[in-house]
Chains A and B, each alone.
Chain A
Amino acid sequence: MAAAADRILEVRDLVKHFPLTSGVVLKRQIGAIKAVDGVSFDLNRGETLGIVGESGCGKSTLAKLLMALERPTSGSVKVNGREIANARGGELKRMRRNIQMVMQDPYTSLNPRMTVGDIVGEPYDIHTEVAPKGDRRKKVQELLEVVGLNPDHINRYPHQFSGGQRQRIGIARGLALQPEVIVCDEPVSALDVSIQAQVINLLERLQREFSLAYIFIAHDLSVVRHISDRVGVMYLGKFVELGKDAEIYDRPAHPYTQALLSAVPVPDPEGREQRERIILQGDPPSPANPPSGCRFRTRCWKAQEICAEQEPLLQIRPGTAHASACHFAETHDVVHVN
C-alpha cells in the first residue's frame, strides 16, 4: 500500500439510491434503485483503476458521484483529502479543477454550436484564475497539439471532425485545468476498434506526461487490462473483486469475474480450445430488490445456504492475494493463456 500522501482519491462506503415513487400528486416512496451500494477504494497519483461490469451495474452512476454531478445518499469521496461529495458553491468549483472527466459519446459531449476553441477554452472562462485572458488562445492551441489535433483548426466546429478527433477534443477539454484525476466513462466504446487503440495510446501518453490518475470505466475487458494498474469488478452496485490487473485476469477469485473472463474473445485458436466457457444463467436481478446475502448467488454455481444469509465482504481471503467478496473464493485461471 502506498503512503497516504500519494493517495489522490479516497472513496468510502459510497451509496447512491434513486427513489422509486408512486402516486401523481402525493408522491410516496415505494422503494429505491440501489445503483451504487457501498463502494470503497483508493486511487494513487499516476495510477489507473479500471472498473468493469455489465450494463446497469452502477459504473456510470459511480462516475457521476466521483464528479459530484450526483449527490450520494451516503458515504464519502475525498479528493486530496478533502470531501467533494458535500462541497458546494465556490469550494466545489475549486475542487473540480482537480478532477475532470472524459465522456463516452464524442458525438453528444461537444456543444454543436461552439467552436473547438470555445469548447476547449471554456474551462478557462469558468475558472478565470487559471489562465489570464490573453494567454487562453495560445493555451487552447497547445492543448490541441498535445492531443494530436491541428492547432489551426481552433475555429472549426465539432461536426467537421470524425469520432476519434472529437474524442480528442473532449480529452483536451478535460486536460485544460490540469487535473490530477480524470474519470473516463467508457471513453472508447463509441469508437471504431482502430481508433480505440489511438485514443488509448493517447491517454497513456498523457498519463506519463502529466502524471495523471485515471478511473477508467469500460465493459471491454481487454481494453481495461491494457490500460489499468488495478481493476475493480462491479456487480449490482458493489465491487465483487478488486486487485492488480494481473491478479484479476490471471488468478480471478470471484465466480462472477471468472464468468466474465471466460466470455472474452481469445484471438488465438489454440487458446480458444483450452479456455473454459462459463455460461451464466438468467439476467442480473433488479437493483431495486437485490438478493439477500451475496448478490451474485442467484446466478452462481457455488451458491450455498450461507450465501443467502451472510453478505460476503470485500476482503483478502485465504489462498488469494487480492480482495474478493465471495465465501468460496478460490483462484482459478479461466483463460489458461499467458
Chain B
Amino acid sequence: MSELNTAVQEPKAHPRRKQKEKKPNSLWSDAWYDLRRNKVFLVGTAIAILLILMAIMPGVFAPQNPLACNLVDARQGISSEHWFGIDNQGCDTFSRVIHGARISILVGLLTSVVTGLVGGVLGLIAGFYGRWVDVILSRLAEIFFAIPSILGALLLLSAVGRDAAGVWTVVLALAILAWPMVLRIMRAAVITAKSQDYVTAARALGASPFRISVRHILPNAVAPVIVVCTMNLGVFIAGEAALSFLGVGIQSPNISWGLMIADARNRFLMAPEPLIFPAIFLSITVLSFVMIGDAVRDALDPKLR
C-alpha cells in the first residue's frame, strides 16, 4: 500500500510557529500568535488596559474627588498636589481626566458592539439571502450612509434635547449613523464566502440555511467586521468627545473629555492645562484603539498569510 505511506505525512506548520504546542493551530490561534508578537499591538493593548482600569476604578488612580471643587483655587498651574493644575471651576484636572475615561470608553465600546451586532446581523442576512432582502437592506443602509455623521448625530441629539442626553443617547446617535458601514463590509464578506466550494459541499450534504450561515459563512466572514469594530472604537470615542464639546453629548455634572475641553477653551491662554491634558488623553485613547485595530487587521488578513 504505497499510497498509505505517502499519505501519512506530517502536516505543514505555520511558517513562524514551532510544532511544540499540543493544541491544534486554527487560523484564529495563528492570528493570535502573530498578534502576541506584534509590538504595535502590545503597546496599544497596554495603553488600552490602563485606560480600561482607569474607567473601572478611577478612585485608585485619582484619590481626589473630581466634584470636590473650590472656586478659590481656580486656574492654578501644575503643582505637586494638583498634577494637571486646577480648572476654571476650581476642580482638580488630574482627577477629572481620570474619571473622564469611563464615559469615553463606555461610549466607544457600546457603540462598537451595537454597530457590530446590528450591522453584522443585517449584513449576514442581506448577503446570505440576496435578492429583494438585500435590495431593501442595502438601500436602507445607503440612506443612513448619506448623512454626514457628526452633523447627523448633532441633529439627532439636539432633537432629543439636553435633558435626555446621556451615554445611551450618544451611543444610539453614533450607532444609527455608523451601522451601514459594518453592514456593507459584512455583506461583501458574506457574498465572497457564500460562493466558496465548501458552502456548496455543505449544501450537497443537506445542511440547513441556518447551519450554513452560522457554521460556514459567519466564521469566514467575521474577520473584517472585527477589524472595523476595533478601529471604530477610537473613532466613536473621538465622536463622543466632539458631540460633548458641541454641547449636545454628555452633560455636566458627568465628566467627559470633550466637555472639559469645551469648558476650558475660552481661557486657554490663561490656563492651558485644563484643555491640554484631556486633549492628550483623548488622543492617546483614540491612538491606542487604532493601533490595536491595525494590528488585528494585519493578523487576520488572510492575503498577507
A168 within 8 A of B: yes
Contacting residue for A150 out of B8, B198, B215, CB 8 A = B8
Q: B205 contacts A113, CB within 8 Å?
A: no
State the CA gap A272–B1 with chains docked (Å).
Answer: 33
Q: B11 contacts A112, CB within 8 Å?
A: no
Contacting residue for A111 out of B3, B25, B220, CB 8 A = B220
What are the residues of chain B within 8 A of A21 when measuring CB–CB? Answer: none
Q: A69 contacts B204, CB within 8 Å?
A: yes
Q: Which residue of B lies closest to A194 (CB)?
A: B6
What are the residues of chain B within 8 A of A112 when measuring CB–CB? Answer: 27, 220
B206 within 8 A of A: yes
> Looking at B28, B196, B197, B203, which has the most chain A CB atoms within 10 Å of its CB?
B197
What are the residues of chain B within 8 A of A198 when measuring CB–CB? Answer: 3, 6-7
Q: A101 contacts B7, CB within 8 Å?
A: no
State the CA gap A67–B25 with chains docked (Å).
Answer: 33
Q: A148 contacts B4, CB within 8 Å?
A: yes
Query: Contact size class for A?
Result: 35 or more
A302 within 8 A of B: no
- Given A122-B207, A159-B27, answer yes or no on A153-B11 (Cβ-Cβ < 8 Å): yes
- Given A115-B24, A160-B13, answer yes or no on A109-B197 (Cβ-Cβ < 8 Å): yes
B254 within 8 A of A: no
Q: Which residue of B lies closest to A115 (CB)?
A: B24
> Looking at A97, A127, A157, which has the most chain B CB atoms within 10 Å of its CB?
A157
What are the residues of chain A within 8 A of B7 when measuring CB–CB? Answer: 147-149, 164-165, 168, 198
What are the residues of chain A within 8 A of B220 when measuring CB–CB? Answer: 111-113
A76 within 8 A of B: no
B20 within 8 A of A: no
B265 within 8 A of A: no
From residue 7 to 23 of chain B, which have CB atoms closer than 8 A to chain A?
7-9, 11-13
State how many angstroms separate the Cβ of B11 from the closest Cβ of chain A: 3
In the complex, the number of residue pairs spanning A and B with C-beta atoms less than 8 Å apart equals: 100
From residue 42 to 101 of chain A, which have CB atoms closer than 8 A to chain B?
67, 69, 92-93, 96-97, 100-101
What are the residues of chain A within 8 A of B1 when measuring CB–CB? Answer: 148
What are the residues of chain A within 8 A of B197 when measuring CB–CB? Answer: 103-105, 108-109
State the CA gap A2–B8 with chains docked (Å).
Answer: 40
What are the residues of chain B within 8 A of A138 when measuring CB–CB? Answer: none
Q: Dominant SS at the A interface? A: loop
Flag B194-213 by CB within 8 Å of A: 1 or 0 each.
Answer: 00111011111111100100
Q: A113 contacts B24, CB within 8 Å?
A: no
Q: A127 contacts B8, CB within 8 Å?
A: no
State the CA gap A36–B154 with chains docked (Å).
Answer: 59
From residue 176 to 208 of chain B, which have CB atoms closer than 8 A to chain A?
196-198, 200-208
B26 within 8 A of A: yes
- Given A126-B206, A150-B8, answer yes or no on A160-B25 (Cβ-Cβ < 8 Å): yes
Q: B198 contacts A108, CB within 8 Å?
A: yes
Q: A109 contacts B11, CB within 8 Å?
A: no
State the CA gap A242–B182 with chains docked (Å).
Answer: 53
Contacting residue for B27 out of A127, A155, A157, CB 8 A = A157
> Looking at B4, B7, B25, B200, which has the most chain A CB atoms within 10 Å of its CB?
B7
A156 within 8 A of B: yes
A189 within 8 A of B: no
- Given A109-B198, A198-B6, answer yes or no on A159-B204 (Cβ-Cβ < 8 Å): no
B82 within 8 A of A: no
19 pairs, A vs B, C-beta closer than 8 Å: A69-B200, A96-B206, A108-B196, A112-B220, A113-B27, A123-B205, A126-B205, A126-B207, A126-B208, A127-B206, A147-B7, A149-B7, A153-B11, A155-B24, A157-B26, A160-B25, A161-B12, A170-B201, A173-B205
Since A122-B202, A156-B24, A165-B11 are in contact, a sample of 6 more A-B pairs with Cβ atoms closer than 8 Å, ordered by chain A residue number, is: A69-B204, A103-B197, A108-B196, A108-B198, A111-B202, A168-B7
